[in-house]
Amino acid sequence: MFIDAEKEGYNVKYPRVLSEEHKKLVSRAGCTLSEEHKMKISLALKGRKRSEETKKKIGLANKGKPGWRLGKIGVYSHSKESRKKISLSLKGNTRAVKKA
């Protein structure tokens, strides 16, 4: 597939000259975020509703991909022998929360 760069609005003039401000911004691109900053981002995004258009785009992007659980064995990923050992080790376990 050929894209006409000038028609699509891409900047094809090289070498590209960056301002000092832009260089500083780009240089921070690989920095790791602090836990506090991650929490602020998380709180800002919570409760955000996706538009129907966005939902359709996400659905189209995922068409043809396998489901997230495909190939997962789940609870029974241990062999029968391993499950028996786990069961025996948990017998008489008093850590379980009892309902009053």
The tens-digit pLDDT sequence of the chain (100 residues) is 455 555 555 655 555 677 888 887 777 777 888 999 999 999 999 999 999 999 999 999 999 998 887 777 666 677 889 888 988 888 887 776 565 4
Residue whose entry in the numeric block shows the structure tokens 């602020």: 40
Question: What per-residue confidence (pLDDT) applies to 98?
Answer: 60
Residue type at position 23:
K
For residue 56, give Cα distances in angstroms to 59, 60, 83: 5, 6, 43
Question: What per-residue confidence (pLDDT) applies to 20?
Answer: 85
Question: What per-residue confidence (pLDDT) applies to 93?
Answer: 76
Quick one: which H or E segment has residue 36?
helix 35-45
Tokens encoding 8: 């699509």
pTM of the predicted model, to two decimals? 0.34
Judge residue 81's burial from the number of C-beta atoms within 10 Å of its C-beta, 0-12 exposed, 13-18 middle, 19 or more buried: exposed
